[in-house]
Amino acid sequence: MKALAKTGPVEGLELIDAPIPTPGPEDVLIRVKRTAVCGTDIHIWNWDEWSQKNVPTPMITGHEFSGEIVAVGAEVDRPLKIGARVSAEGHVIDLNSEAARAGHFHLDPHTRGIGVNRQGAFAEFVVAPAFNVIELPDDVPYEIGAILDPFGNAVHTAQQFDLLGEDVLVTGAGPIGVMAAAVARHAGARTVVLTDINDYRLELAQKVAPGVRTVNTTREDLRDVMKELGLKVGFDVALEMSGSPIAFRQCVDTLIMGGGLALLGIPSKPTETDWGAIILKALTIKGVYGREMFTTWRKMLGLLNAGLDLQPLITHRLAYDQFQTGFEAMKSGRSGKVVLNWDKAA
């Protein structure tokens, strides 16, 4: 089969021929139809410090995908059939861990990632535990199935606080931040403000999340925008999606007393924090990792069924052998989601 792999400790990925993986007794084999490029894949492409510590080579990368089941392990007890259209949770857990036995699957400390530290989905076939497989409704196309993983990040972050009727700040207009803003609007937030310094992605957000007030903070003062919107005190909830220390301070500064702050964005290095400001404002801060298995998946499929449209977020649809073009688009900051088609080459 064709696959994209990190074959050694160097920048980039290589298109290789690899053997079709063999599923174990509790696994399924999936013929990959679509994959999407994630920020994690960019880290692996760049072979940065995080990748060097966490990604063994050779490694077939990629974890955002959809496809069709072509084989089911002998001990699989779920009613999964050959030909089923599926996506999958990319975090593979130890079902015997204390967290898993308590039902907190997403908090398992022994989690391994498809395409990170086990062979991934940038390939014509991928193996996944049957436990992780999510069947796709008929009205969810493969390309949307391939971006459910990051959509789940957005939904999980938005789930941390009640957004109904609230004023919400979202910092960071990457694809997940844009999806979080759309979720907040769909969840009934009174006001949603999305900040970034990238005009391309702020303009894209208007297509995915109509009604969101976008702010390029290099040209507009957030305080002025708050006055424009009638926010006399501050935001009730902030969703920090960028990992920027500046954006984190912006959230703390503009939240109301007793406000809630959910953190998904990961800073590139340790940063100083004014804990006094956080304490004196009695803020509640929640770190967010991955998706809640499998409540988040149920909710995101429900949001799609209720009319939340993610199609405008997909800005690049490419054949798998055009992967370099896709990665360049992602690295330039002038893209939404990049989706690779594994049905055929260019």
The residues that are catalytic are 40, 43
Going by C-beta distance under 8 Å and a sequence separation of 6 or more, which residues neighbour residue 247?
171, 172, 195, 240, 265
CA distance 8 to 78: 37
Tokens 């406000």 label which residue? 259
What proportions of the chain, in percent to the nearest 5, are helix, strand and coil? 30, 25, 40
Tell me the one-letter amino acid at 340.
L
Q: How far apart are CA 26 and CA 265, in angstroms?
A: 34
Identity at 283, one-letter amino acid code: L
CA dist 321 to 13, 71, 312, Å? Answer: 11, 25, 23
Provide φ and ψ at 93, rounded to 5°.
-115, 165
What is the DSSP annotation of 260-306?
EEEE----SS-----HHHHHHTT-EEEE--S--TTHHHHHHHHHHHT
Other CB atoms within 10 A of residue 217 CB:
15
Q: Answer yes or no: are the C-beta atoms of 112 and 86 closer than 8 Å.
A: no
**First vs last Cα of the chain: how many Å apart?**
16
Q: Among residues 10, 83, 84, 80, which one has the least CA distance to residue 47?
A: 10
Tell me how far apart the alpha carbons of residues 218 and 222 are, in angstroms, rounded to a whole number: 10
Give the sign of the dihedral formed by CA 151, CA 157, CA 162, CA 165.
negative
